[in-house]
Amino acid sequence: MTSSPLRVGVAGAAGKVGRAICDGVEAADDLVLGGRADPALDTPLESILGDVDVVVDFTRPDVALGNAIACVEAGVHVVIGTTGFDVEQLRERRGPGNAFVAPNFAIGAVLMMRFATEASRLMAKAEIIELHHDAKLDAPSGTAKRTAELMEGDVPIHSVRLPGLVAHQEVILGDVGQTLTIRHDSTDRTSFVPGVLLACRRVADQGAPLVVGLEALLFNDVA
Any idea which residues carry the catalytic annotation?
Answer: 132, 136
Cα distances from 63 to residues 36, 58, 67, 200, in angstroms, run: 16, 10, 6, 20
Give the three-state DSSP class for 204: helix
Largest CA distance in the chain: 62
Q: For residue 69, report the phi and psi dihedrals to the nearest 5 degrees.
A: -65, -40
Dist. CA 150–CA 102, nearest whole Å: 14
Dist. CA 170–CA 131, nearest whole Å: 9
> Which residues, at least 6 apart from 106, have a Cβ–Cβ distance to it below 8 Å?
167, 184, 186, 191, 192, 195
Give the three-state DSSP class for 185: strand
Residue 164: Cβ-neighbour burial (10 angstroms; 0-12, 13-18, 19+): exposed
Dist. CA 151–CA 188, nearest whole Å: 27
